[in-house]
Amino acid sequence: MIVLTADNANILFTSACRALTDFGEPVSPRGMATTEILGAHLRLTQPRRRFVDVPPLRLLNPAFAVAEAVWILSGSDDDWIFQYNRALTRYADDGVLQGAYGPRMRRWNDAIDQLDRVRQLLQRDPDTRQAVIQLYDPQRDTRGHRDVPCTLGYRFYLRRGRLHMHTTMRSQDIWLGFPYDIFTNTLIQELLAGWVGAELGEYHHHIDSLHLYAENVSAAEQLAHDPEPSPVMPEVALPWNVADQVLRNTVTEPPTHDLTGIWSGFAQMLASYRAWGTGDRDHARTLLADTDGDLVRALERWYDHLAPAPAKQGAPAS
C-alpha cells in the first residue's frame, strides 16, 4: 500500500510512476505484462492543478482530455468521442463503448441523474455521507463486453465549506489512463463545488491495482524526480440550469458563438482538433491563434509531437 500527496498532478504522476518502478511486482492479467502495486491512495491538494504534462516523455492530448470530460459530463456514449482518440474503437462493441461513464452518471437505467441527485443532496444536507455516484454495474459489466469500467464510483463530502472528492478504482494504468482520469474527475469536482456554493477541497484517488504496462516502464524510469509543476487551471464554472446546453454547444461543429470564458476556449480546442483530424493542419493551428491558456499551448505542442516541423535546408551545423 502506498500513500502519495502532492499539490499538482505532475508531481503526483511522477511520484506514482517512481513507486511502481521501485516497488512494483510483476503480474500478467490476460497475458499482458505489468508492474503492479496493490493498494494506492493518491491525494491532490490543489485540484485545479490537474493537467499532467511532462515533456518529452509524457505528453497528453489536451483536446482529448477536454472532449472526454465533456462527453462524460453530458451523459453521452455517442461515437463522436472517437474523433479525439481513435484507439478507443478497439474497446467498442458494435460501435459503442459499453462501459461509458456518462450514461451511468447522468441516466442510470434511463431513470436517475446521479449527478443531479448528488447536487441536490449536498444542498439539502451539507453534512451528508450519501453523496455517491455509482459507475460499476454488475448487471451490465459481467456480460463480456470489451469495455468494463475501471472506476467503481465517486463520493463527495462537504466539510467546512470545502467540497472533497474521493474516487475508487478497481484498476488504474498510471501511464495512459491516470492523466486523463484525474483531469475529468477534478473537473467534475470543481463544477459540483460551484453548484453547491462550496470552495474546492482535496481530491483523493483510491486504486486497488495501480499498474504500469511493460512497454511504458523504460519511459517511466526516465522521468525526472522534480518535474515542472502543473499550472493552476482557470476557474471552471457553469450554472446548473444551462449546463447541458453549454456542454452540447462546446462540441457543436462548428462551435457556437454564445460560449464564454473557458467553455469558449474548450470549444476552439475541439474544433481545432477536428480540423487536424481532417488533415487541415494550418486551419487547426489558426483556430488556436486567438485563444490563450496552458491547455492551448499544450495542444500546440501535441501538434508538434504529431507532426514535427521539417528541418530547414541549408542550416549551419551546430
Residue whose entry in the numeric block shows the C-alpha cell 482538433 = 273
Model confidence at 117, in pLDDT bands (50, 70, 90)?
very high
User: What's the whole-model pTM score?
Assistant: 0.94
* Cα separation, 39 vs 207, whole angstroms: 6
pLDDT digits over 54-71, tens only?
A: 999 999 999 999 999 999
Residues with active-site annotation: 150
pLDDT digits over 222-258, tens only?
A: 998 899 999 999 999 999 999 999 999 999 877 666 7
* Cα separation, 169 vs 182, whole angstroms: 12
Please report which residue ranges of 196-280 form alpha helices under DSSP H: 214-221, 243-250, 261-277
Residues 6 or more apart whose Cβ sits within 8 Å of residue 30? none
Task: Tell me the one-letter amino acid at 216.
Answer: N
Smallest Cα–Cα separation from 2: which of 42, 29, 33, 30? 42
Are the beta carbons of 294 and 231 closer than 8 angstroms?
yes
Q: Is 143 helix (H, G, I), strand (E, B) or coil?
A: coil
Helix H, strand E, coil C: the string for 166-197 is EEEEEEEECCCCHHHHHHHHHHHHHHHHHHCC
For residue 191, the tally of other CB atoms under 10 A from its CB is: 18
Q: Please name the helix (run of DSSP H) or strand (run of DSSP E) that holds residue 122, with its range, or none.
A: helix 114-124
Q: How far is CA 240 from CA 2, 125, 191, 275, in A?
A: 37, 18, 9, 30
* Cα separation, 74 vs 143, whole angstroms: 25
CATH of domain 2-233: 3.30.572.10
pLDDT score, position 314? 46
pLDDT score, position 317? 38
Which grid coordinates are listed for 163?
Answer: 467540497
Q: Where are the domains of the chain?
A: 2-233
Q: Is 269 helix (H, G, I), strand (E, B) or coil?
A: helix
pLDDT score, position 297? 95
For residue 27, the tally of other CB atoms under 10 A from its CB is: 13
Average pLDDT, the chain: 94
- For the cut 80, the answer to whether the pLDDT of residue 123 exceeds it is yes
Which residues lie across from 98 on neighbouring strands? Answer: none
pLDDT digits over 76-105, tens only?
A: 999 999 999 999 999 999 999 999 999 999
Residue whose entry in the numeric block shows the C-alpha cell 447522468 = 106
- For the cut 70, the answer to whether the pLDDT of residue 303 exceeds it is yes
pLDDT score, position 228? 95
Model confidence at 309, in pLDDT bands (50, 70, 90)?
low
- For the cut 50, the answer to whether the pLDDT of residue 315 exceeds it is no
Smallest Cα–Cα separation from 169: which of 183, 153, 157, 189? 153
pLDDT score, position 271? 95
Residue whose entry in the numeric block shows the C-alpha cell 517511466 = 220
- For the cut 70, the answer to whether the pLDDT of residue 310 exceeds it is no
Q: Please name the helix (run of DSSP H) or strand (run of DSSP E) that holds residue 202, with its range, or none.
A: strand 199-213
Are the beta carbons of 101 and 133 closer than 8 angstroms?
no
Longest Cα separation, the chain: 70
Average pLDDT over residues 142-162: 96
pLDDT score, position 256? 66
Q: Do β-strands 132-134 and 199-213 pair in parallel, antiparallel, or remain unpaired?
A: unpaired
